[in-house]
Structure 1
Amino acid sequence: MIRFILVTILSAGLWLAPSLLITAAAEAPEASKDLSFKRDVRPILSNHCFACHGPDENHRAAGVRLDVADEVDLDEVLDRIQSDDPDIVMPPPEMNKPLSPAKVETLARWIEDGAEYEQHWAYVPPSATEPPIVNLPKNTADSDVSISNEWTKNPIDRFALARMQSEDLHPSPRADKRTLIRRATFDLTGLPPTVNEINDFLADTSDDAFPNLVERLIAKPAFGEHLARYWLDLVRFADTNGLHHDHYREMSPYRDWVIRSFNENKPFDQFIKDQIAGDLNDDPTREQLIASGFNRLHLIIDVGTALPEESAFRNMVDQVSAVGTAMMGLTMQCAVCHDHKYDPITQKDFYQMSAFFNNFDGEPETGRRGSSDFPRGIQPPYINLCTPEQDAEIERLEEAVRVARAAEKAIRNKAESSKVDQDDENIITKEEADSLIEALEPTLKEVIEARDSFLSQIPAAMIMKDHDDVRPAHIMVRGAYDQPGEEVTTGTPDFLPPMPETDARKTRMDLADWLIDPSNPLTARVAVNRFWQQLFGVGLVKTSEDFGSQGESPSHPELLDFLTVRFVESGWDVKSLLRQIVLTQTYQQSSRADQRQFVEDPDNRLLARGSRYRLDAEMVRDQVFSVCGLLNTSMYGKSVKPPQPKGLWKIVSMPSSYPSTFTADTGDAIYRRSLYTFWKRGFAPPQLTIFDAPTRESCIARRERTNTPLQALMMMNEEQFFAAEMYLAKQLLDQSELTSEERIVLAYETVTSQIPSQITREELDLGLQQFRAAFEQQPVLAEEMIAGAGKSAMQAGESIANAIKIDAPQEQVELAAWTMLVHSLLNLDITKTRE
């Protein structure tokens, strides 16, 4: 079939990265360089030694501790790491973590130099470091590259340039304006620029052209939608419970709150505080209550599958783990059963944190399908998000239900009392009562159905609420929900700055204040790193989910601290932070580089070029609809279900699951941004997971990026994409005033934001001619292609389907040929890559 054909346009005019990159990373510092415990030694000890000789005192071998300065026979340590005797050498062979000669040399140097320890960098509060002084080449005409004086003006650039120069590297030239607008538009809105936006940017020749562009992008509603997506990954937002039946629950108001918060530039400390403890304000607003739904995003196991006590325990573990990952960059969950193996988090620390969440005012949450007790798949406590008129109607309907139930109860009570008091003149023996109840049942059923039907149309938000009575919290022995040990009260890990002393029991509000306190070394630093990651594809700390001992050290520690301090001083201003970074020379570099850079620094950790990586799943999908003119930009509201292959949910859904089957939405809702796609944890949207979107069963701080045949197959065969491509092809053909070459140029610019070279134009024209010839030889293929695309488009509405409906055979051939050209453009590497 012709629709499986993909034209491979060879890279005339298109730059491609080297096909094979070899990573050459030195394991040990050069002898001439100073040894750094944080940079050189601690990572070795953490990876090879801490599991047996680390923080976990209950499983510490031979009483030897190596994660902190301790009374250890260093001579014996040195003998053991240098030994080749399998009975003596450390780490022992059965661990399968042998030390390389370079690592042995590093440890030997450290021990011989006195074995001085330093506190782990992430646990030290950030301090403002003066940006380094950088010197440009004296004679730039004779140097390898002309470095602009702009590199000396911005403190971020000075940090980046100083690191490059220390590695004998130089910056790359500034990217061209077309690349810059495409890069910045994707990075700040998640969407590609339009041709008109590109032309306006090119026409602005002032020095403020790029800053003005950045301001326009940050002001777009799409900005908040784009940033919200990263946060929703981090807090495992989904539309279903996960686990077992994976029932539906209404959580979209929380997603909408996140979007609004980023668009309104809510201070990030307040953003965190509202989520941790918004419900504990004296008079919480509706928005603060919705924000507290962060604490209800955990997975929920089904009723009857686990005891209520187990469900409550699992929910609490999930809540603490989410705070640890999302707010602190720590793997708190590793201390559920025992002290952490690598970080100084004790089991007691974990359960002191759990005490903040142990007072939930509600029954242990269990998955249930929608019912009169739990309409809309939500469970108390929750709030209805109504207008005053809707509130009045709900009250009227609830009153009708109460009256009908009271009438039924009165009849039953009267019948029961009559059995006792036979002298009662108002006696009812049992047939009369049954008759009255039978007559009442249709009314009761009717009013309940009317109430539930009305409520199903009303958005509601699950919120957090604490019980008035304080429930005791315990360390659970070996992490077993039914094995309580030592009783604990609310508290935070001892290795971090303490909470202020008070006589009152500390609440989630105290926890929130502690998280955003400037003395806390983690929260702001973790947030800044993730915002950097969103713009460069990798954070200054690559392991953005783990700032502990097993995480990577920052590539630019002074820069990270500088940005963190400035972020806090700015009032936790997210838009200001992103603006500062995007306006740097570092961000605006071209992603083209010589082979040496790719070989020595494949992940661009030294920032000597612009970052280049594949777009996220949502960007890939949204781009198709955006460039083809079909993207539905309406915001907020319930999640939507775009079409997907039939039967997929049946693979993972049980018959009593709610919903049990997938029913696609219709109308232009199916072209809404991927952010609003219904997210079933048991089977997340396949169009997105194929491109590495997470299932959201756990907190994800960074996505993996893979390159698989399935991704190419989906891009070539997804029916929604194909219909959208035909829609764009029809728009191109409708511009009758354009020549074929002009249409090719417009198509290429619309899809890639670039202008094709003459060679590329000729190759595209040749491809178009070949498609046209193929369809002329087999016109039935063109007819079938258009009919299939029309059927797919019909789900979005008659207007879209009619737009691509053509009956004349020769016109069908032309539309099919141009559709395949657009299809080929959307499958190019340049289209799916952020450069």
Structure 2
Amino acid sequence: ILSEEPTYMMPPPESNLELTTVEKAMLLRWIEQGAVYKKHWSFLAPVAAEIPNLKEDPWVKDEIDFFIKKSMLKQGLAPNSEADREVLLRRLALDLTGLPPSAHNLNIYAADTGDIAIEKVIDQLLSSNHFGERMALEWMDAARYADSHGYQDDGMRNTWPWRDWVIEAFNRNLPYDTFLLWQLAGDLLPSPTEEQILATCFNRNHPQSQEGGVVDEEYRVEYVADRTNTLGKAILGLTVECARCHDHKYDPITQKDYYSLFAYFNNNNDAGVVPYNGEASPTIILPPPGVRKVIDSLRYEIHEMEGAMQASEAYISDFKKWYNKEHERLEEHLPDHNQLVGEFHFDEEFKIDASDINLEDKPNKRTGANKSYTIAYYNHQKKQLDAALWGHMDDKPILEEGRNGKAVLFQGDAGIRFNRELDFDRDQPFAVSLWVKFLKEGEEGPVFGKTNGDFEGYRGWLCKLNSDGTLSFQFNHVWPDNCIDFQTTEPVRINEWTHIVLSYDGSSKAAGIKFYLDGKIPEHRLHQDNLKKSLLHGVNKSNWSNQPFLLGMELRKSIEHLLVDDLKIYRRPLSRIEVQQLFDADLHPELQEKDWFEYYLLSGKNALFNKRSQDLQKIRQRENLLVTDQPEVMVMQEKKYARKTYILDRGAYDAPSEEVAAGVPEVFIEDTDSVGTDRLSLAQWVISRDNPLTARVVVNRLWRMCFGRGLVATQEDFGAQGSLPTHPELLDYLALEFMEMGWDVKKMLKKIMLSATYRQSSGTNGEQLVKDPENHFYSRYPTHRLGGEIIRDQVLSASGLLVPKIGGPSVYPYQPDGIWEALATRNAISYNQQSGDSLYRRSLYTIWKRSSPPPAMLNFDAPDRYYCVVRRQQTSTPLQSLVLMNDPQFVEAARVLAEKMVNAPTLEESLHYAYQQLFGRKPNQDESANLTKLYYHAYDHFQAEKSEAEKLLSVGEFPLTSDLDKEKLAAQTIVASTLINYDEFVTKR
């Protein structure tokens, strides 16, 4: 640092950077003192400072003031006096509810000048349900909440119940450590409640892709990275994302540390592609209380009926009679064709006119060529053509020598599509039997089933060949969580015929599914047993695709080098005896009486069992239809078999290197094994005293909420590149105090707001501007502009339009035409403005589409919420004034406020009323005089141009009071609109 030799100079000459004389002296002094290295301040535990007797200074009201006054005195500054009561009440109301104070509270508070009055007002505001809305607004940016998925298609999602949970959590003052714990890992708590699971939607708020052709794993990795980055920025105040591709250049966070954090979120049971039909799993189903009772009742009835069906003594007597009668000729019953609805030998194919096929959706819709004919296949059971080619004629299946006569060979982008009568839902029992021969090792793809593939979350049921040669059998509402998912452990044989049977009893349980390879149940793993909703498409959300039963293909995938022969489809499960007989008619295993008893029941030979089966299916169908129609919300749920996590070279999903275990960065903890490897362990560390960051980050955010800027200005970065705290001792004091008071948000806010520091006026004198131009030392209250949501809510409240309802689905208020349409592709294209109360709800409830956020809020610097944002940028642009002057929401509010102004006895009183509603005070003499001139000027204009008055008063849907003088009302509307454009209205002072 002292060398003049370019080779040795630091910083290097090419950096164009140079240390100042003071900085060089500081480094030399540090070297002389021994060059002892200390961790960055934020990586050290908060230290309690010694606090003297606070009564020595009459200005100091609490510990906060002591630290602030101490720093002021060092700069030769003195604090401002307390703000006027009206100003202070407005400040408190905006900070705690995001709404202006009521006239009633203003009158009461202004009359009482004691400290007790301030405390009462704070308590009243903290107990308001609007407090939760105000706090939730802060958290929505950090949690990147939106009502749409993002990316190109930007389809809608159903996450508003999580937003409402956040509001309710703040209103009931859920301790902040619990608030964080539940959101990070509520699902992993012992016997988690519904709300603890719902809270984990926080981790699923990231954008998700619905686009065709994306690589599932690539996007899934992006989602995990987003969760990791959000933990860093929103909770730890660190830019951990900088270590995704390499070690962090400035903070002691290595790439290994990053992927150790990444590992905590890498085991969620989700996929990379969001289905068009339903929420992305895993989810929690949230029926309304009344519907929940009906569902519980149906499930109890199902449980009782299942128990009755399994009571074998009810059928034994009739079975004995049948068995004794048929004992000598039992095998003559096989094969049993009872409820056999499909039988395809594929011994011949038919080239027919496409219009003659028995399918509801004609196959040439996908074929795209040879539209005049198609290739069809014969159903020997129904004596008709129930199957046809679906796909490209160039790759069409052909007939080859099979196991029994001919077989169909699949060789590319084409499959066979069956009549919809062969569709089944989760409440319907069925079975499929077929012979297959896989001709090439390493092949993968769908063998048979009914699914649209990843485009629909694999909704339906299927058997597929995996790349490792194993088979998967799945029943999916949305894979991989709302489903039943089996996988064999051994690969299938190549170039040998294998007999497959899939048998299902309609119970929606893994225990009700049996699959056989060559007559035996193979070794397998059960990945998931959580099927809760329908297997059919088009339920719960509109959808334009609904595949029937397919062989050798699904919507966007097909299989090659596969032979299929002798396909049979049943509307009932098959017994073990039938499976054995279908595999080898000459095979006679040691059949026991219990095997024939199973066959006797499943093949429909007992009237009582048949009746109970039919009754049970009806109840299951009712439960299925009712549950499938209920809303669900994305949450976290761990996979049964954990994923491995690797350091990804350059952060690329397809470049894994070293395997890593879940853990926290080494800079925070000496013994990395002391923190467990599941998300709950991470969450517990995050809120523990061993973590020096979380409490500091929280109180810094609360401070910024009150003062417009945090003690650490870079709320998102407490690392080496972030700002140093202006008052480090105060920050540590608040962090320690916050933990001591049980992470009580309301208590901490009250403490801040009772301080003399918060209660100062915002006026500025020359000395302050010279010594503290940016107000780092708080010798005055820092004035700052309000956010777009609060500005809009203010004008709705002041005009009387605000609908104070808490919670519920997002609403569609006024918005300029064509914004959604300009950016939408094929999902949620049009913005359908609502009417009535929906126009006047708080901005927190406005629909948030990531590709087209609410434009009025964007103009006031709201983020698009593609990523976590904890500090909004503040700009001043002409567009903001144009919003206040011309947005229908603001023009209508000005008109409704003007109606109340017109009803005042005098013009002066009308101006007083407007000032009271908008600013919480009365106008001074100059303000009244200027507004009076404005009123008469506008009135004269509208008297001369009555159509202009009509045009102005027609803005908005709120009914116009018919008996008012329209020219006077229009003039008062201009006055109200002008006041809404005042700096004082959009600023907190």
- Quote the offset at 1:203 in angstroms: 2.7
Task: Give the root-mean-square deviation of aligned CA atoms.
Answer: 3.0
- Quote the offset at 1:470 in angstroms: 1.9
Q: Where do 5+ consecutive residues of structure 1 fail to align?
A: 1-77, 137-147, 400-409, 794-799
Q: Which residue of 798, 812, 832 maps to 1:663?
A: 832
- Quote the offset at 1:298 in angstroms: 1.4
- What are the within-5 Å matches in structure 2 for residues 794-805 of structure 1? 800-803=958-961, 805=962
Instruction: Note closer, same or farther for the CA distance 1:412–1:451 as it changes in structure 2 (3 Å cut).
Output: farther
Q: Which amino acid aligns with 2:913?
A: L
Instruction: Note closer, same or farther for the CA distance 1:305–1:450 as it changes in structure 2 (3 Å cut).
Output: closer
Q: Which amino acid aligns with 1:733?
A: V
| Aligned counterpart, 2:9 | 89
User: In structure 1, how many angstroms separate the alpha carbons of the residues matched to 2:727 and 2:782?
Assistant: 16
Q: Secondary structure at the match of 1:383?
A: strand
| Aligned counterpart, 1:626 | 797
User: In structure 2, how many angstroms separate the alpha carbons of the residues matched to 1:348 and 1:779?
Assistant: 72
Q: Which amino acid aligns with 2:2?
A: D
Instruction: Note closer, same or farther for the CA distance 1:389–1:210 as it changes in structure 2 (3 Å cut).
Output: closer
| Aligned counterpart, 1:291 | 199
User: In structure 2, how many angstroms separate the alpha carbons of the residues matched to 1:720 and 1:714?
Assistant: 9
- Quote the offset at 1:556 in angstroms: 0.7
- Quote the offset at 1:593 in angstroms: 1.7
- What are the within-5 Å matches in structure 2 for residues 178-197 of structure 1? 178-197=86-105
Q: Which residue of 567, 578, 584 maps to 2:755?
A: 584
Contact 1:238 1:680 in 2 (8 A): yes
Q: Which residue of 753, 778, 795 maps to 2:920?
A: 753
Which sits farther off after the overlay, 758-767 or 673-682?
A: 758-767
Deviations 1:150-192 (A, max 9, x none): 41x4111111111111111111000010001000000111111
| Aligned counterpart, 2:414 | none
Contact 2:153 2:211 in 1 (8 A): no
| Aligned counterpart, 2:169 | 261
Is 1:832 the counterpart of 2:981? The answer is: no
- Quote the offset at 1:636 in angstroms: 0.9
| Aligned counterpart, 1:379 | 280
Is 1:366 the counterpart of 2:273? The answer is: yes
Which sits farther off after the overlay, 556-565 or 241-250?
A: 241-250
User: In structure 2, how many angstroms separate the alpha carbons of the residues matched to 1:214 and 1:824?
Assistant: 31
User: In structure 2, how many angstroms separate the alpha carbons of the residues matched to 1:690 and 1:282?
Assistant: 45
Instruction: Note closer, same or farther for the CA distance 1:593–1:135 as it changes in structure 2 (3 Å cut).
Output: farther
- Quote the offset at 1:426 in angstroms: 9.8
Q: Which residue of 473, 480, 499 maps to 2:645?
A: 473
| Aligned counterpart, 2:734 | 563
User: In structure 2, how many angstroms separate the alpha carbons of the residues matched to 1:358 and 1:257?
Assistant: 25
User: In structure 1, how many angstroms separate the alpha carbons of the residues matched to 2:819 and 2:21?
Assistant: 51
Instruction: Note closer, same or farther for the CA distance 1:505–1:133 as it changes in structure 2 (3 Å cut).
Output: closer
- Quote the offset at 1:396 in angstroms: 11
Contact 1:348 1:475 in 2 (8 A): yes
Taking every aligned residue pair, what percent have the same amino acid on both sides?
Answer: 39
Bigger radius of gyration: 2
Which sits farther off after the overlay, 181-190 or 97-106?
A: 97-106
Deviations 1:219-239 (A, max 9, x none): 001101001111111111111
Deviations 1:28-71 (A, max 9, x none): xxxxxxxxxxxxxxxxxxxxxxxxxxxxxxxxxxxxxxxxxxxx
Deviations 1:637-676 (A, max 9, x none): 111121211111233222x1x2112111221111111111
| Aligned counterpart, 2:787 | 616
Q: Which amino acid aligns with 1:778?
A: E
- Quote the offset at 1:198 in angstroms: 0.6
Contact 2:341 2:422 in 1 (8 A): no
Deviations 1:474-520 (A, max 9, x none): 11112111111111111110010256746x96210100111111121
Q: Which amino acid aligns with 1:822?
A: A
- Quote the offset at 1:597 in angstroms: 1.4
| Aligned counterpart, 2:605 | none
Instruction: Note closer, same or farther for the CA distance 1:125–1:823 as it changes in structure 2 (3 Å cut).
Output: same
Q: Which residue of 542, 546, 553 maps to 2:717?
A: 546
User: In structure 2, how many angstroms separate the alpha carbons of the residues matched to 1:304 and 1:769?
Assistant: 61
User: So what's the TM-score if we normalise by structure 2?
Assistant: 0.68
Q: Which amino acid aligns with 1:271?
A: F
Q: Which amino acid aligns with 1:149?
A: P
Deviations 1:557-597 (A, max 9, x none): 11111111111011111111001000000100000020231
Q: Secondary structure at the match of 1:416?
A: strand
| Aligned counterpart, 1:172 | 80
Which sits farther off after the overlay, 353-362 or 816-825?
A: 353-362
| Aligned counterpart, 2:844 | 675
- Quote the offset at 1:96 in angstroms: 3.9
Contact 2:141 2:869 in 1 (8 A): yes
User: In structure 1, how many angstroms separate the alpha carbons of the residues matched to 2:248 and 2:380?
Assistant: 72
- Quote the offset at 1:457 in angstroms: 7.1
User: In structure 2, how many angstroms separate the alpha carbons of the residues matched to 1:411 and 1:627?
Assistant: 73
- Quote the offset at 1:455 in angstroms: 7.1
Contact 1:339 1:346 in 2 (8 A): yes
Q: Which amino acid aligns with 1:662?
A: Y
Q: Which has the higher helix share?
A: 1
| Aligned counterpart, 1:644 | 815
Contact 1:398 1:451 in 2 (8 A): no
Deviations 1:662-714 (A, max 9, x none): 11122111111111111111121111010011111111111111111111111
| Aligned counterpart, 1:37 | none
| Aligned counterpart, 1:29 | none
| Aligned counterpart, 1:765 | 932
- Quote the offset at 1:440 in angstroms: 9.0
Q: Secondary structure at the match of 2:214?
A: coil
User: In structure 1, how many angstroms separate the alpha carbons of the residues matched to 2:151 and 2:298?
Assistant: 34
User: In structure 2, how many angstroms separate the alpha carbons of the residues matched to 1:115 and 1:442?
Assistant: 75
Q: Which has the higher strand share?
A: 2
| Aligned counterpart, 1:125 | 45
- What are the within-5 Å matches in structure 2 for residues 201-350 of structure 1? 201-350=109-258
- Quote the offset at 1:392 in angstroms: 6.6
Is 1:731 the counterpart of 2:900? The answer is: yes
Instruction: Note closer, same or farther for the CA distance 1:97–1:242 as it changes in structure 2 (3 Å cut).
Output: farther
Which sits farther off after the overlay, 228-237 or 103-112?
A: 103-112
Q: How many residues of Structure 1 are paired with residues of Structure 2 in the alignment?
A: 705
| Aligned counterpart, 2:944 | 777
Contact 1:397 1:447 in 2 (8 A): no
Instruction: Note closer, same or farther for the CA distance 1:274–1:442 as it changes in structure 2 (3 Å cut).
Output: closer
Instruction: Note closer, same or farther for the CA distance 1:329–1:505 as it changes in structure 2 (3 Å cut).
Output: closer
Q: Which residue of 712, 718, 725 maps to 2:881?
A: 712
Instruction: Note closer, same or farther for the CA distance 1:418–1:517 as it changes in structure 2 (3 Å cut).
Output: same
Q: Which residue of 646, 653, 677 maps to 2:824?
A: 653
User: In structure 2, how many angstroms separate the alpha carbons of the residues matched to 1:429 and 1:710?
Assistant: 71
Q: Secondary structure at the match of 2:341?
A: helix
Q: Where do 5+ consecutive residues of structure 2 fail to align?
A: 301-336, 348-378, 389-417, 429-533, 543-625
| Aligned counterpart, 1:99 | 19
Deviations 1:317-360 (A, max 9, x none): 11110111111001110000100000000000011111111111
Q: Which residue of 463, 472, 475 maps to 2:635?
A: 463
- Quote the offset at 1:411 in angstroms: 11
Deviations 1:715-742 (A, max 9, x none): 111112101111111122234xx22111
User: In structure 2, how many angstroms separate the alpha carbons of the residues matched to 1:365 and 1:114?
Assistant: 53
- Quote the offset at 1:86 in angstroms: 5.0
User: In structure 1, how many angstroms separate the alpha carbons of the residues matched to 2:298 and 2:423?
Assistant: 16
User: So what's the TM-score if we normalise by structure 1?
Assistant: 0.80
User: In structure 1, how many angstroms separate the alpha carbons of the residues matched to 2:754 and 2:828?
Assistant: 47
Instruction: Note closer, same or farther for the CA distance 1:669–1:206 as it changes in structure 2 (3 Å cut).
Output: same
Instruction: Note closer, same or farther for the CA distance 1:457–1:195 as it changes in structure 2 (3 Å cut).
Output: farther
Instruction: Note closer, same or farther for the CA distance 1:488–1:825 as it changes in structure 2 (3 Å cut).
Output: same
Q: Secondary structure at the match of 2:658?
A: strand
Q: Secondary structure at the match of 1:474?
A: strand
Contact 2:144 2:868 in 1 (8 A): yes
Q: Which amino acid aligns with 2:880?
A: Q
- What are the within-5 Å matches in structure 2 for residues 155-170 of structure 1? 155-170=63-78
